[in-house]
Structure 1
Amino acid sequence: MRSSSRLRTAEPGQGFVHALALEAEAAARDPQETAEVTDLTRHGLKRFQAGDYAQASRIFTALVGASPGRALSWNHHALALIALERREEAAEALSRSLEIDPAQAEAWESLASILMPLARHAEAEAAARAVLALDSRRSSAWQVIAMARTAANDFIAAANAFAEAIAIEGPSAGLCANLGVSLLKCGRFGEAAVALASALDLEPGSAPIAEAKRLADLILAARAGTVEGDGPDSLFKTAILLLDAAGERAVAARVAGHWAELRPDDMEARHLRDALLARPLDRQPPELVARSFDTLAETFDEHLTERLGYDGPARLGALLAACGAADGGRDVLDLGCGTGLCSGVLRPYARSLVGVDLSGGMLAKARERGRYDALEQADLTEALAGDTGRWDLIVAFDTFPYLGDLAPAFAGVAAALKPGGWFAFSTEDAEGDGYVLRGNGRFAHGPDYVAALAAGRFEIVTRATDMLRREAGRAVAGGYYLLRALP
C-alpha cells in the first residue's frame, strides 16, 4: 500500500522559472552587473526558452565561472541541469546558490523537489522546512515533508504534514488519498475512512483509492464485529497486519479467521489465524517462507534497508570484530542468506563461503552478487545435518524470526562448528525464557531462552539489544548474539 501524492517532480516549478525570469530582468538593469554576465544570462535564457537545454547549460556553466559569487547564476545553471535530468548536479548548483543567499523560498522549494526522487529524503525534508521558515503557506513544502516522513515510516508525522497541505491548498484526490493511507498506517482507521471517502468523491474512477477505502471499511467492519464477503488475499493480510501493529489483536484475529474460512487451503491465512489465536506452533511452514520470499526477492533489499531501516550487515560486522582478523582463512556458512546482504561482510573472513536459503528467488539474487562459493536451497536443519566439525563460522541473521523452537538449530550448529568456532545470529527480542509467536506470524525469542540453549555448548561472547528494523513506523527490538563453541 504505497502513497501516491501528486508531488512536484524534479522538473522546475513554474514559480521558480518565473522568479528567475524576473530576477534576470532586474539583473540586466543593474548597473553593477558586468556586460559579460548580462549577455550570458540573456543568451542562456533565450536558448533555454527555445528548448535548447544543452546549449543553455554550456552558457550557464560559463556564467557561474564569470560570477561564482552570484546566487542567480547558480540558479540559472540549476535550471538547465534540471531540464537535462542531471539532478545530482542541479542539486549541487542550487545548494551553492543557497549558500550565497539562503532567503530564496523558490530555490529551496526546487531543491526539495529534486532531492525527493533521488531518495535523499532527509535533505529534501530539511530543504522543505527551510521553505516554510520563509513562507509557511507553501503546500508543496508540506507535501515533501509528508513524503520524506513516509519514507522514514513515520506515518504520524506524514499524516500531520498531509493535513497541513490540505489546509493550505484545499482537498484534492491525491492529498486526501495520501492522508488516508498515512492514517491507516498509524492506526487511525476511522479518520482514514473519512479521508479516503473524500478522495473517492473527488476521483470516483480511481482503483487504488477504492482499494484503500475498501481496506478501511473492512477494518471498521471487523471492529464492529462483522466480517463478510470475499476479496483478494492482500486485502485480508494488510488489514491483519495493520490491526496487529495498532495493538488490536482480537480484531485482527477476526479478520484472519474469516480469511482462513474462505481459503481453508491457504497456508498463510491459517498461519496468521493460528498466530493471532496464540495456538502453539514451532515454526512457520517452510513452504510458506519459500513462497513469500520468492515473491519479495526482486525488491527485497530496497524494502528492507531503505523502508524498514534494516542494518544487519553493519551489526554483523560489529559482532565479528571480536572473532579476530578477517584473514580469508575460514569456512563460513550463511544460514538464511536471502539475497546475500551479509555476504560483503562475510567474504573477507572466508576461505569458502556457502549460503543456504529456502527461497530459490532469493538465492538467484544472492548468486548475482558473485561472493558465494556455493548456494544451496534447503532448510537450515537439513543443511547442517552431516556437517560435523566442518565450519569455523556460522551466521543466521534475520533467520530465526521464522522459527519458534530453536533447539534443533542450536544442536545442528553446535555439531557443525569446529571446536572454538563462532556462531553469530539475530533474533526479534522478547522478554523471558521462551519464545513468542507474534500476530504478524513471526517469532521473538527471549535472552534467557537463548542462554538456556547455549548452556553446555557455547560461551555467549556478546549480546546486544538494538533496533532490528521498523514495522508500521515502530521500532522492532532485536537481539544480536555472538557465541563461541566450547572445546
Structure 2
Amino acid sequence: MSATAPQADPIRKYLETARAQIGKGELREAAQTLNKAQRIIPDDARIFMLAGLMAEKSGNVKGAFEALRRSVALAPDWGPGLLELALLLARQNQFQEAVETAEKVARLEPGNLLVLAGVVDIAHRARHTEMAVRHLRRGLELVPGDVQLRRLLARDLGSLGQHAEALDLWSGLIAQDAKDTEALLGRVQTLLAAGRPAQAIADTTTLLELVPGDSVYAYYNALAHGITPPHQPIELNRHLFDGMAEVYDQHMVRGLRYQLPKIVADKILSRYPEKRLNVLDLGCGTGLLGVCLGRIDGFLIGVDVSTKMVEQAARHSVYDRFHTVNLLEALHATPASLYEVITALDVFIYAGDLTEAIPNAHRILLPAGDFYFSCEAAPEDGPDLVLQANGRYAHKRSHVQALCRQAGFDPVEIENLALRYENQEPVQGFLVKAHKAAAA
C-alpha cells in the first residue's frame, strides 16, 4: 500500500472518526462513516481493515474475516492489515495461520513496537512460547531495559524450564525496584519450579510485608517453607483461568486431547437416556460437559470462579444458571437432596483437600445420585495430598476411596485413565463415580 501524505489523504479524517466510533461501540455511525470514505476511494485497504474490526465487534466473525482478507488482498505487504488479520485468526483459535501471518508482519516491520506487541500476544495465545521468547529478545534489542518486556521474557523462560536466565531477569528487575511485587513473585515461582524453595523465603517475607494478609503471597510463603496448603487461593485460580478462557477449549480438547467431559457425559446419558435430571457442574469452565450433554429436561447449573470462563460457557446456551463462586462455598451453601448428578472434572487438581467437598456432595445429591470427579494420581506410598511442581494437586487413590466411603457413598467406582496429554506424555489420574444409596 503506497504511503499518502496526510494533507493529500482525502479519507484520513473519515478513517480516524470511524476508528474512534468503533472503539466506543458506535457501530452504525462507524458504518456510515466508512461508507463516506468508500465513495471517495472504493478499494482502500484501510477501509476494509476497519470494516473487519467493526464486524467482529458486532459479532459477525464471518464478515470480519471477509473484510480483513479483502484488506490484505488489496495491500499484501501492509503491516496493519496483516496484523489485524493475524490477531483475528488467533482470537478464533486458528493458530497455524495466525502464527504464519504474524511472522510475516514481523519480517515486514521489524522495528515496529506495536507489531511486536501483537506478535507476542499471538504467540502466547497459540501457546508458542519459543516464538514469544524470540520476539521478546528482539524487542529488548529495540528497547533495551524495557521493564514489561523483561517481565514477559522472564515468565516465558521460566515456563520453558530455563530457570537460570529467568532468575537473572527477575533479580535485575528487583535490583532496579525492590518493591516490584510482580518481579518478587516471579522470582518466588521460578525458585519453586527450580526446586529451591528455601531460597524463596526472603522474597515471600518481603511480599507479605508489602501487602500484609494477601492470600496469594501467604500461599507461596507456605510453599517456600515446605508446607502444602490444603487449598489454592481463589484469586490465583481466577487469574489463571480468566487468562485462559478464550483459548481453553482449543488448548484442552485439541492440544491436550482432553476427553473427560465426553466420557462422563456418555456415562450420565446411559443412565438417563431421556435426560430427565438435575446436574450441578462444579468448575464448569467453558461448559464442555454441557456441550456433550446438550439440553436436559431439568436444571444444568454451572459453578466456576472465573467470570471469563463462565462467559464462554454461556455462549453454548445449555446451562440454566451460573454461580461465579468457589466450589467449596457453592457446596456449603447448596440445600440437601437437590441433584441427581454432581460433576467436578479437572477441578480438584486446583481445589486440593477433599475432606469437605466429598461429604457435602453426598448431602446435596438425591438418593441414588452420582458424584463424578477426577484427580491426578499421587503415589500410593506417599502423602494423601501432593502439590506438584506444576502447581496442581495430586491425590492418593486409596485416600479418595476412603473419604468417599466415610461420607456414605457405596459403591465407589474408580477408573484409572490418562486425563490429558502434556508434551505428548499422558497425565495419569483416575475418574471416580461415587454412588449415593437409594432411599430405604
Distance of 1:217 and 1:143 partners within structure 2:
20
Query: Of the candidates 75, 81, 100, which is equivalent to residue 126 of structure 1?
Result: 100
Give the C-alpha shift of residue 124 in structure 1: 2.9
Alignment RMSD (CA, Å)? 5.1
1:94 and 1:372, CA in 2 relative to 1: closer, same or farther beyond 3 A?
A: closer
Give the C-alpha shift of residue 160 in structure 1: 1.3
1:193 and 1:331, CA in 2 relative to 1: closer, same or farther beyond 3 A?
A: closer
Q: Does 1:185 align with 2:152?
A: no
Amino acid at match of 1:395: T
Identity of aligned pairs, percent?
22
Contact 1:113 1:124 in 2 (8 A): no
Contact 1:356 1:376 in 2 (8 A): yes
| 2:38 corresponds to | 57
Query: Of the candidates 372, 387, 395, which is equivalent to residue 437 of structure 1?
Result: 387
1:331 and 1:157, CA in 2 relative to 1: closer, same or farther beyond 3 A?
A: same
Q: Rg: which structure is higher? A: 1
Amino acid at match of 2:268: C
Query: Of the candidates 409, 414, 417, which is equivalent to residue 460 of structure 1?
Result: 414
Contact 1:253 1:277 in 2 (8 A): yes
Task: Output the TM-score relative to the length of structure 1.
Answer: 0.59
| 2:246 corresponds to | 306
- Where 2:264 maps in the other structure, the secondary structure is helix
| 1:252 corresponds to | 200
1:193-247 CA-to-partner distances (Å, cap 9, x unmatched) read: 88x7xxxxxxxxxxxxxxxx7x6443x89xxxxxxx9736555434323433455
Alignment of 1:55-454 (within 5 A): 55-58=36-39, 76-83=43-50, 85-86=53-54, 91-93=65-67, 95=69, 106-107=77-78, 109-118=79-88, 120=90, 122=95, 123-130=97-104, 138=110, 144-164=118-138, 171-172=142-143, 177-178=148-149, 181-187=152-158, 216-218=172-174, 231=179, 234-260=182-208, 265-279=213-227, 281-284=229-232, 288-289=233-234, 296=238, 302-306=242-246, 311=252, 315-324=260-269, 327-336=274-283, 348-349=295-296, 351-354=298-301, 371-372=319-320, 379=329, 382-383=332-333, 387=336, 390-414=338-362, 416-418=364-366, 421-428=369-376, 430-432=378-380, 434-438=384-388, 443-447=393-397, 449-450=399-400, 453=403
Distance of 2:214 and 2:329 partners within structure 1:
21
1:356 and 1:279, CA in 2 relative to 1: closer, same or farther beyond 3 A?
A: same
- Where 2:353 maps in the other structure, the secondary structure is coil
Structure 2: 5+ residue runs without aligned partners? Answer: 15-32, 57-62
Structure 1: 5+ residue runs without aligned partners? Answer: 1-15, 22-44, 62-75, 197-212, 222-228
Distance of 1:273 and 1:452 partners within structure 2:
31
| 1:34 corresponds to | none
1:416 and 1:90, CA in 2 relative to 1: closer, same or farther beyond 3 A?
A: closer
Amino acid at match of 2:433: L
Amino acid at match of 1:323: I
Distance of 1:360 and 1:306 partners within structure 2:
12
Task: Output the TM-score relative to the length of structure 2.
Answer: 0.64
- Where 1:466 maps in the other structure, the secondary structure is strand
Contact 2:228 2:386 in 1 (8 A): no
How many residue pairs are counted as aligned between the two chains? 383
